[in-house]
Copies of this chain bind each other. A is one copy, B any other.
Amino acid sequence: MTSDRPRRSDATRAAILDAARERFAADGYERATIRAIAADAAIDPSMVMRYYGSKEKLFAAAAHFDLRLPDFTQLPLEDAGTLLARHVLARWSDDETLFALLRAGVTHETAAERMRSIFADQLGPQVAKVCPDPAEAPVRAGLISSQVLGLALCRFVLRLPPVAEMTEDEAVRWLGPTLQRYLVGY
């Protein structure tokens, strides 16, 4: 249906998406100009418009993200918090899409909505599987989000020195118990 035979322009489309993610992640929504993205992708700005329609739609196309959470029921419950902290920090480091969402989400409603749906649709259900009362799952998932996003904000975006210079292990050691409590404690 939607996927025909591969087009000759697929490489260009992909290059645009890559450049867009990079620019949105580094500069936020408004500072990431179509001209700069096009330059990074080594094509003309008008191509971006032809293939993605508008800056808004380009962002929507570039900002798909999957946290790739493990199945929480398969996790040893007593150190789920630590494993979750490690997984999320790693996921954060190897995919700049989350930066794009974080930087853009602060000023751009589309990005904020995308962020909300990631934590509601991907994290929420997993939390519901293991937390004491499934009705509390949204709140617990929200708290986990707050600590995870807060650390990412301080570490990667604001670059508060002590948080930015922390090793990943150190960060996991501190966050693990916090997430564990938000997950199953009181």
User: Per a CB cutoff under 8 Å, which of B116, B148, B181 touches A150?
Assistant: B148
Q: How many copies does the complex hold?
A: 2
The reply on A125 being an interface residue by CB < 8 A is: no
Number of interface residues of A (CB under 8 A): 43
Pair B150/A147 contact, Cβ less than 8 Å: yes
A145 CA to B153 CA in the complex, in Å? 10
Contacts of A102 in B (CB 8 A): 106
Q: Determine the distance from Cα of A116 to Cα of B170 in the docked complex, in whole angstroms.
A: 20
A103, A106, A159, A182, most chain B CB atoms within 10 A: A106
Q: Flag the segment in A9-17, A38-46, A87-95, A135-143 that touches B.
A: A135-143
Contact A158 B112 (CB under 8 A): yes
Contact: B158 with A115, CB < 8 Å? yes
Q: Are B138 and A146 in contact (CB under 8 A)?
A: no
Chain B residues closer than 8 Å to A30, beta-carbon distance: 28, 30-31, 107
Q: Which of B28, B145, B177, B181 touches A106 (beta carbons < 8 Å)?
A: B28
Kindly state the separation between the CA atoms of A141 and B183 in the bound complex, as whole angstroms.
Answer: 23
Q: Does A80 sit at the interface, judged by CB under 8 A?
A: no
Let me know if A107 and B105 touch, CB within 8 A: no
Q: For A143, what are the chain B residues with a Cβ–Cβ distance below 8 Å?
A: 163, 174
- Indicate which residue in B107, B160, B163 contacts A103 across the interface (CB closer than 8 Å): B107
Nearest first, the 9 A-B pairs at minimum CB distance are A150-B150, A142-B162, A28-B107, A142-B163, A138-B162, A146-B150, A30-B30, A146-B154, A146-B151
